[in-house]
A and B are shown apart, each in its own frame.
Chain A
Amino acid sequence: MTIASGTVREAAIAAPPPAPAATSPARPRKRRQLTRNRWGYAYVAPFFLVFAAFSLYPFMYTAWVSLHETSLSNINGGTWVGLENYRDLLQSEFFWNAARNTLTIGILATVPQLCMALGLAHLLNYKLRGRTFFRTVMLMPYATSIAAATLVFSQLFGRDYGLINTALEAVGLQAIDWEAGTVSSQVAIAVIVTWRWTGYNALIYLAAMQSIPGELYEAAEIDGASKWKQFLHVTIPSLRPTILFTIVVSTIGAVQLFGEPLLFAGNGTTSGGASGQYQTLGLLMYQQGWSNFHIGQAATTAWAMFMIILVIVGVNAVIGRLRNRADR
């Protein structure tokens, strides 16, 4: 901004008479262009109509509902309570428990997931025999339905006959009641999420890696960089925008985590464990709206989730912008 205004000012000083003359006809031309591009709006309209009907309207409606005390059966009625739902939410220990769980599961899932994706992408970037096969296989967990995958995992993590406990016992360790413990249940859920999303992120990283010019690696090799240093000083910096993107996407996914914890107990009716040890914000919202029928409260939680995502994305954008400015 400052640079742009600076040059405009300089230009104005250098040549005062033409500068105002140049700006005044520009404005009407811009307006004329807008009206001339009427058809452009017509062409983009279908998307925005669908967006308005299925995204914007429910979104605003949720905000409206969140300001009422109402139940699922009487969604249009209820009493106006203003921001009381929000106050209740912030004072509710369930909310903070769910927020904490969402955060820890999010970290447990996102960090190893992105690190493993980076490593896998690096390996798949080498000339391997049958790498198309490996690349396809990597995407398969992503193509699997959450329900099917989670049911299989809940069997694996089963307390009495689960494969993992059998394996633990086989090597002389104690069986773990995965679902009952706070840490164990969150780790188990993080494993499901990681399994499902690692391949997807690896493919995104792989695509970005393939656009790094090979000459950079050759230059680094001649400069005396080992393979690891090349990864550190060439690959990672070149992937920085991509890494930022995957962090944002994974974070949004983590905040909205719902299917995996819901189905983890195996019966699909849990609200996040007996003591809420793995109740995420998504599950809390579901419990409020569909078990306790407080749809107003549920809408409030939904909005709170949205705000959290907004803050995280905003912080990411600021970090990205600051780094870009530092680059310049």
Chain B
Amino acid sequence: MATVSFQQASRIYPKAERPAVDALDLEIADGEFLVLVGPSGCGKSTSLRMLAGLEEVDTGSIVIGDRDVTDSPPKERDIAMVFQNYALYPHMTVEENMGFALKLAGIGKDERATRVREAAKILDLEPYLARRPKALSGGQRQRVAMGRAIVRNPQVFLMDEPLSNLDAKLRVQTRTQIAALQRRLGTTTVYVTHDQVEAMTMGDRVAVLKDGVLQQCDTPGELYDRPANVFVAGFIGSPAMNLVTGDAVDGGVQVGSAVLPVPRDQLTRAAASNGKVTVGFRPEAVRLAGPGEGLPVRVDVVEQLGSDAFLYTSLADAPDDVLHSADLVVRTEPRSGVTTGQQLWLSTDRGAVHVFDAQTQQRVD
């Protein structure tokens, strides 16, 4: 078990226009479950592979524990990795797959068998030890890949989208199992996913990346409540946060014909660069107001989920102007009686509005 730290670590692929990972600074505590999340091509997998030693570090350094491993080969890093496609050795049985690293490390047959059996017990794999990967289901293969990592008892677990090949139901189930297992073993874990729900539910902390640059690294709650910039605000949360950009006017931000109230000092600072302000509010922070109050919108789609309903609306007084029409999502009670095409007025909860500088995209408090 160990801490992990990225220190200004960059990876620049030959002939690439910009670095795949750009001066990443990240401190991961001992025993922490850190999730790297971001859209495809954001550099999250590259960061993980740099930590694994499968990808070169062009500048900066990576430290595991108190050892600088920047130039060490993977086998000297004491890490174990779970791959997206599991990468199980097809010609080896489950037992051989899980024990392969131990065998290479020169660990005796008896101890190997004991350790494999222990891991198999944790993962419910005991009945399958003699099988080969092709005779296993997707979920079982995933568990073997986990088992292969556990058996080694490494300092750090690296997981590269380990759930993306499972069906939706199994994914949710395995998600909680992995999180529980990690808490139990207490091994520092770095987990890569593109799924923000996975990130939010599993991670002690979540690092959001975009275009190779770290946007924010914080606890799931903080990410949700205080996103550092417009990208994080839009990326975390499902459905996404409503984001509207408008001119700063007296008392708030002009959205269509209405004014969205924003506290004065926040407004002044956010509008400092070009007079425009981006405001964000989550679907659950929106209330239906009386006629004539707040933002007038037209309901386009009503999504019934049973426990609640989502209204997908567009600004009523900017019908055809693509640039200014913003889709606003509203959460309501499941049986509110709102129908498609209806006109509504929305108001936002005071204090639930996130304010961003429209130029720099940064949060303004």
In the complex, chain B residues whose CB is within 8 Å of the CB of A9: none
Is residue A321 within 8 Å, beta carbon to beta carbon, of the partner chain? no
Q: How large is the interface on A (under 10, 10 to 19, 20 to 34, 35 or more residues)?
A: 10 to 19
Is residue B41 within 8 Å, beta carbon to beta carbon, of the partner chain? no
In the complex, chain B residues whose CB is within 8 Å of the CB of A240: 91
Q: Which of A58-66, A132-140, A229-237 contacts B (4 or more CB under 8 A)?
A: A229-237
Knowing A224-B75, A327-B132, A328-B135, the reply to whether A218 touches B104 (Cβ < 8 A) is no
Count chain B residues whose beta carbon lies closer than 8 angstroms to a beta carbon of A: 26
Q: Which of B79-87, B222-230, B354-362 contacts A (4 or more CB under 8 A)?
A: B79-87
In the complex, chain B residues whose CB is within 8 Å of the CB of A328: 132, 135
Q: Cβ of A221 and Cβ of B73 under 8 Å apart? A: yes
- Docked pose: A301 CA to B316 CA in angstroms: 94
Q: Cβ of B74 and Cβ of A215 under 8 Å apart? A: no
In the complex, chain A residues whose CB is within 8 Å of the CB of B73: 221
Q: Cβ of B54 and Cβ of A221 under 8 Å apart? A: yes
User: Which residues 199-237 of A have a CB within 8 angstroms of B?
Assistant: 213, 215-216, 218-225, 229, 233-234, 237
Q: Cβ of A222 and Cβ of B81 under 8 Å apart? A: yes
Q: Cβ of A216 and Cβ of B87 under 8 Å apart? A: yes
Is residue A238 within 8 Å, beta carbon to beta carbon, of the partner chain? yes
Task: Count CB-based A-B contacts (< 8 Å).
Answer: 64
Closest to A240 in B: B91
Knowing A218-B54, A219-B81, the reply to whether A224 touches B104 (Cβ < 8 A) is yes
Closest to A215 in B: B87
Closest to B154 in A: A222
Is residue B235 within 8 Å, beta carbon to beta carbon, of the partner chain? no
Is residue B323 within 8 Å, beta carbon to beta carbon, of the partner chain? no
**Chain A interface, DSSP helix/strand/loop, else mixed:** helix
Contact flags B290-330 to A (C-beta < 8 A → 1, else 0): 00000000000000000000000000000000000000000
Q: Cβ of B87 and Cβ of A213 under 8 Å apart? A: yes
In the complex, chain A residues whose CB is within 8 Å of the CB of B132: 327-328
Is residue B178 within 8 Å, beta carbon to beta carbon, of the partner chain? no
In the complex, chain B residues whose CB is within 8 Å of the CB of A219: 81, 83, 87-89, 148
In the complex, chain B residues whose CB is within 8 Å of the CB of A327: 91, 132
Q: Cβ of B91 and Cβ of A223 under 8 Å apart? A: no
Closest to A221 in B: B74
Q: Cβ of B90 and Cβ of A238 under 8 Å apart? A: yes
Contact flags B66-108 to A (C-beta < 8 A → 1, else 0): 0000000111000111011101111110000000110011000
- Docked pose: A328 CA to B85 CA in angstroms: 21
The 4 closest A-B pairs by CB, nearest first: A224-B75, A223-B101, A215-B87, A237-B91
5 sampled A-B residue pairs with Cβ under 8 A:
A218-B87, A223-B104, A223-B152, A238-B91, A327-B91
